[in-house]
Structure 1
Amino acid sequence: MLPSKRVNIVSVKLVKEASMLYKNRRIRSPQDCYELFKEFLGEVDREYFVVMCLDAKNQPTNISIAHIGSLNLSIVHPREVLKTAILSNAASIICCHPHPSGDPTPSQEDIDVTKRLVAAGEIIGVDVLDHIVLGDGCYISMKERGYMEIE
């Protein structure tokens, strides 16, 4: 006979590490996303995959780093990206990552990850509104470019 197994009783919560002031209150365009993500990230030398959670009025509620990659690679899994959205009771999210090369052109992997995130978000009821790729003083909105359509 196997000995008894101890089961831990746990709770899960978000922990606020800091805050920043957002004067526009609502996200109305990819440009608004770019400005907020640029302020949050500053100058980074590797790929950070960042998630902004929004309420039903498109007001940002929090920003979190889902993954920190290397100079040209970030392994992103929908579970890690959507975890903050679930814990925040977010209506939607907007994702962002910089290309340290300065060229914001999305790679095929960027496009594939975005489509996986959209599909996973649909399953759990969290809209993935956009994925912004930052470059040197510029950005690309994957929604505007039509890269978020699921086949």
Structure 2
Amino acid sequence: MCWEKKPKRKKEKTMSVSYEKVVEIVRLKQVVCDSTLEIQKITSSFGIAQWLMDEIGNETQEVLMLLCLNTKNEVNSLSVVHRGTINQSIAHPRDIFQRAILSNATRICIAHNHPSGDLLNIVS
């Protein structure tokens, strides 16, 4: 009986990263993101609406945004959770809460735009 010899596979190098290193990387990423974000204090829901209309009001697709606030109602981070189609945007709560936790948010605000401009559009 003839046995075929299997070719030797090269052992792939794997990189293990400690939990502390992951936390450090996330914090560095947050510092970089925060340094480019103008600190803005939120004083009312009307203020948030006005600010976000400037950010996503003219988009041609639905955009779901997440604002993460600290205890002083200052914006920690502003991120696009999902870019949808012309009339819908879908996101999983896990994606929203993960971003909020990573940015050390004490409060969050979730908002989306209406590309059609129709604020009373009811989904049937």
More helix as a share of residues: 2
Q: Is the 8 A contact 2:39 2:74 kept in 1?
A: no
Q: Which amino acid aligns with 1:16?
A: C
Q: Write the deviation string for residues 97-122 of structure 1: whole angstroms up to 9, x where unpaired.
A: 0011111237569xxxxxxxxxxxxx
CA apart distance, 1:96: 0.6
- The 1:105–1:81 alpha-carbon spacing in structure 2 relative to 1, beyond 3 Å, is farther
The TM-score, its normalising length taken from structure 1, stands at 0.58
Deviations 1:83-141 (A, max 9, x none): 221111100100110011111237569xxxxxxxxxxxxxxxxxxxxxxxxxxxxxxxx
Q: Which position in structure 2 is the counterpart of 1:100?
A: 115
Provide Cα deviations, 1:52-77, integer angstroms capped at 9, x if missing partner: 00111222222111111111111110
After TM superposition, list the pairs within 5 Å mapping 1:53-64 onto structure 2. 53-64=68-79
Say which of 16, 19, 40 aligns to 2:33: 16
**Separation in structure 2 between the aligned mates of residue 92 and residue 41 of structure 1, nearest angstrom:** 21
Structure 2 gap segments, 5+ residues each: 1-13
**Identical pairs, percent:** 31
Count of equivalent residues: 104
Q: Structure 1: any 5+ residue segments left out of the alignment?
A: 1-5, 110-151
| Aligned equivalents of 1:57, 1:88: Cα separation in 2 | 14
| C-alpha contact (below 8 Å) 2:60/2:115 kept by paired residues | yes
- Report the counterpart of residue 130 of structure 1 in structure 2: none
Tell which has more relative contact order, 1 or 2 (C-alpha 8 A, sep 6+): 2
| Higher Cα Rg, which structure | 2
TM-score, scaled relative to structure 2? 0.69
Name the counterpart of 2:81. Answer: 66
